[in-house]
Structure 1
Amino acid sequence: MMLHIPEVLSKVQVQQIRAELDTAAAWQNGQFSAGAQAQKIKQNLQFDLQHPSYVTLSQDILSALKQQALLQSFALPLHILQPMFNCYQNTGTYGNHVDNAVQYCAQVQRPIRTDVSMTLFLSEPEEYQGGELIIEDNYGSHEVKLSAGDAIVYPATSLHRVEPVTAGQRIAAFTWCQSMVKDDWQRSMLFNLDMTILQLRQQLGDTAEVLALTAHYHNLIRQWSQL
């Protein structure tokens, strides 16, 4: 299951982050962070994690993500990795791949399991040609190209790729999270149940039936969470 989260960042916030990225001019060959297999299909740039601007920019993105109620409900995050930044230009692309199952998390100083992938777009669709994020699941291939400030969230187990950027620049932030609920199917059911409860509360208020569903939701989290 995928989720489009609109306006994680305002247009003003996007402009500020883009200006800082442009000023820093700290892009490196993305292959440096790739394994032997990924190096063959990865052609992009990534922002230097050692640059003084990185921590502030990354923290701004992380803070914005943590404030998103939809993300909290969909991903049930236990840990969110410090976001990174990439740039695709000059036919840059990233072929079909699945993200690494484990990444080191500096915040907790230990490896975490990557259950959910997130891409936050920092370029408007009209700023570049190509560059679609293609995500494959049991229902086929899904093409994603969102407005700047919007995010797409999807299971990290998904096969996905970035199509070649034939003109302009596609700049984005990306990260992963370890969920309290490892299983994607269980997370999907919990998200759908949470959204249904929210709609019923708006229509009916906190009736006995709505409270019963809410209790059922939290008890399922108790049953399925891995803490």
Structure 2
Amino acid sequence: MILPVAGVLSPALITTCQQLASDDTLFVDGRSTAGWYAKQHKHNLQARAAEPVQKALEQVMAAITGHELIQAAARPKRIIRMLLSRYDEGMHYGHHVDDALIDGHRTDLSFTLFLNEPGAYDGGELVIDEPSAERPFKLAAGSMLLYPSNTLHRVMPVTRGQRLVLAGWIRSLIREPAQRELLFDLERSIAQLRSAAGQGEALALLLKTRSNLLRMWAED
């Protein structure tokens, strides 16, 4: 399941991240955090772990963990790592799949948080390979794209401006993507029933089903 989520970050937090991204002294070669294969295809800049960057990432973490739609779709056990990335003109990230383990934790979902508007740069689309076709994404500032970490993907070359993003990885309570999607559909059905009158028995059955599926599938 590939899920765009709008409005994850507040305008104030977006501005903070943009200001950090404008400070050249905070950035290093992005290949420093790539695996051996991805290192050959990665051409971007990443913020080092300076104090102002870490403070901003803590605020981003709070925004993600407090977002109901992300919680329902990802069932996160842990947000493993986040990186503030900048793509200047000519930079790109070739075809790759994210590492299966980062900092000793399994990566189930990857996400990209867009930090500037699509019109601020040309190119720079995040392209995800699916069995039937490639899908390009270029979302509004503050929006997140959530997708399985086992997918091949790439970032197209930036031909004008700068592409500013936060990239991160999630260890989910639910390992299998199909099971996560089923629980997500169930969660949305529960939300619809909660807003309808006279659905007490049906709602109770769905809540029971959700709880029992979590007991079957969750890895605590």
2:80 matched to which residue of 1? 81
Between 1:19-28 and 1:39-48, the stretch displaced more is 19-28
CA distance in 1, matches of 2:115, 2:121: 11
Residue 46 (1) aligns with residue 46 (2): yes
Residue 27 (1) aligns with residue 40 (2): no
Aligned-partner SS, 2:77: strand
5+ residue gaps, structure 1 = 105-110
Amino acid in the other structure paired with 2:2: M
CA distance in 2, matches of 1:58, 1:12: 13
CA distance in 2, matches of 1:221, 1:193: 11
Residue 87 of structure 1: CA displacement?
Answer: 0.7
CA distance in 2, matches of 1:15, 1:52: 17
Between 1:64-73 and 1:193-202, the stretch displaced more is 193-202
What TM-score comes out, normalization by structure 1 length?
0.92
Residue in structure 2 matching 1:164, options 154, 157, 160: 157
User: Does the CA contact (< 8 Å) of 2:88 and 2:163 recur in 1?
Assistant: yes
CA distance in 1, matches of 2:62, 2:201: 35
Residue 40 of structure 1: CA displacement?
Answer: 1.7
CA distance in 1, matches of 2:93, 2:81: 21
Amino acid in the other structure paired with 1:164: P
Aligned-partner SS, 1:36: coil
User: Does the CA contact (< 8 Å) of 2:35 and 2:99 recur in 1?
Assistant: no
User: Does the CA contact (< 8 Å) of 1:62 and 1:82 recur in 2?
Assistant: no
Superposed CA offset, 1:182-214 (max 9, x none): 000110011011101111221235510111011
Amino acid in the other structure paired with 2:56: L
2:142 matched to which residue of 1? 149
CA distance in 2, matches of 1:210, 1:3: 25
Amino acid in the other structure paired with 2:213: L
Superposed CA offset, 1:97-130 (max 9, x none): 11000011xxxxxx21000001100011011000
Say how many residue pairs are matched. Answer: 220
User: Does the CA contact (< 8 Å) of 1:123 and 1:148 recur in 2?
Assistant: yes
User: Does the CA contact (< 8 Å) of 1:59 and 1:82 recur in 2?
Assistant: no
Residue 118 (1) aligns with residue 91 (2): no
Paired residues for 1:1-227 under 5 Å = 1-23=1-23, 25-49=25-49, 51-104=50-103, 111-204=104-197, 206-227=199-220
5+ residue gaps, structure 2 = none
Residue 24 of structure 1: CA displacement?
Answer: 6.5
Aligned-partner SS, 1:189: helix
Percent of pairs with identical residues: 34
1:108 matched to which residue of 2? none
